[in-house]
Chains A and B, each alone.
Chain A
Amino acid sequence: MSKTADIVIIGGGVMGCATAYYLAKEGLKALVIEKSDIGGEASGSNGGGVRQSARNLKEMPLAMESIRMYESLHEELGMDVEYVQQGNLRLCTNDEELDVMSKSVENQKATGLHLEMLDRSQVLEINPYVGDKIIGASFCPTDGHVNPFLVTYGFYKKAQELGARFYTNEAVTEIRLQKGRVTAVITDKQVIETDLVMNAAGIAGRRISNMVGLDLPMKPVFSEALITEQFPPLFPQMIGHAKGLFYGRQTGHGSFFWGGFVGTEDYLYQKEQAGHSGKPLFHFIGPSIANSIIDFFPVLKNMNVIRMWSGLIAGMSDSIPVLGLTSEVPGFIFCTGFSGHGFGIGPVVGKLMSELILDCNPSIPIHDFCYGRFHKGADHECSCKKNAACTINSAICPNKRQWLKHI
């Protein structure tokens, strides 16, 4: 005998848990299937940066709303999530980097975001610990950071309290279609009948899309992270690098988190040898990040590194996520491809997805993130007037469903 569910969410990361929470708040009890444990992948291994600065302009409305949500998230979730809103410094060490940042700052100011470029002396006023190499930085005072484990866990716990169901240690292996529509989700343990399924599987988002015959231009990007021992509070800002190669913060606990893709060292790339593409040398990434930390904050030089790990980022070809419905497979909802900066917009995405699912009417338009952009180009016109991302209303919002009635 198979179970039934109003909606199955694949993936218990921040996106799956937040969506389940906002749905449950409105009375729709989702079934979340997670192959490991809550926050087992990106949401349980990221840096916790919550930023608007240096974001893709299309993501700005989401990021700005997300900041507003983070400000009161502890009340919403009934637990401390270690949110610190003391700004984001993106440090520059040479003129080229200054240039990149200045341009980005100008563009972002145009969206209404309050941020500015600082010269070295101004940076020192905010953060007296930066090293000699720093010649300037962008500073966005409303940015900050948060404990990602607690946020994900908080959404999970609250969603569960409100009636959402979570099956952990269970992986989705197949999605069954009938006449092109979603009719069931099959896991390694059971069959669950449903006509709505949300793909919030992070890095596995592509594989899940493949299950219904769709594909995404997504590839995994390797990212390394390290954590130091505890230290009395030194600085509260989220730290970034102009080119995004390296970032970090001091956590509420006192330890420092640092992460990066290749650090800032050139030698990390295997030089263009015959037939070689210049991939990073993975075993040098950690030491290279360490070098960058010492360059940027010499005061940390004698601090102990106690743990390292790495994570995979769901990198889209255009570095923005895929959200919403598609007319190609009615009943299939995208919420994946956050390209390494999804945590900061986790709460707002959860909220918007819930609004989309309940009402086909997200309060912030999400058509810039629609699946159709890969076929029809980024500027194509969405068929759904409500900007619910390429929806053919009648086909996919089955009469707004009758969920709210029988709850």
Chain B
Amino acid sequence: MHVRRLELVDFRSYRAVEVDFEPGASVLVGPNGIGKTNLVEALGYIATLASHRVATDAPLVRSGAGSAVIRCTVMHDGRELLVELELVPGKANRARLGHSPVRRAREVVGALRMVLFAPEDIELVRGDPAARRRYLDDLLVARRPRFAAVCADYDRVLKQRNALLRTAQLARRSGGGADLSTLDVWDGQLAGHGAELLAGRLELAAGLAPHVAAGYDAVAGEAAGAASLRYRSSLPAAGADRDALATALAAALAQARTAEVERGVTTVGPHRDDLALTLGELPAKGYASHGECWSFAVALRLAAYRLLRADGVEPVLVLDDVFAELDTGRRDRLARSLEDATQTLVTCAVEADVPVALHGARFEVRDGEVKRV
């Protein structure tokens, strides 16, 4: 799959811009704040109906304008597909697919598949477990949309169960007896949805692990320590079978019950899990250097890319500001590892940072314009 054309109207800093891309690598160069990430963000919005930077649509519309349009022509299996989104803050997006309006904007999801590395991704390595869980869950949903409902159900049950525990905790503190008659029911639901989510994540993590190791090697070189990814569950190991996991989760909840009523919060379940990322013998978080963390974050995105590609549809790979934090060796190796990708879009603030090994089209981003050079 590749993006052939991107057109923006009143999106972020752009009044009107059109960019034509080709398969292979495209490098977008321009100074800080010129609008490189804005382009990347527009593509990401077409792919996921969300920005990787902001939670609401208002900042995406050029200040002074009432609405923004993103139009993207995607080539897939020799066919051309036009995806168009109109963003009106505070209202539902209007979407068109191949010139025809669709009933729900969600129907355009999947027309463009994209994997994005953004500088914020360093948090995947250095940040809280929540960032790593989101990385897993986003990928899970991208591959199997049903998991969007599994995640939503699990979150809802968790909120309800925590509310019940909190009420029980307060009742206990004020000396009264707590009504826990429905806790068994919520335990059952949490175990059911939790096991489903856990099974999905475990299978995904197992699939990702070899790609992460290979992706890190490809960037850091064989001489560097090996990168590994392992799912760290709050449950004792129970295999990957859904029913066995549900039994194990139910047992863990039963065991934790007294403590949970005391603390007023659910202490076991996939919402407490993490990905253990290690470099050589040491955890990446707290030990690895800035450049190593950066490389690890790149490896995580490359792994997602390889996995989706193995599923059958090759996504577009977008790397925003990826080179600045890498040494020359890593830049070159990363560039070479991109050679087999159908399409890669790379942004860079300084021309000199672009490795010579990265062949492909060059674009210059200037005030509100993107010119091929």
Chain A complexes with chain B:
no
Residues of B within 8 A of A (CB): none
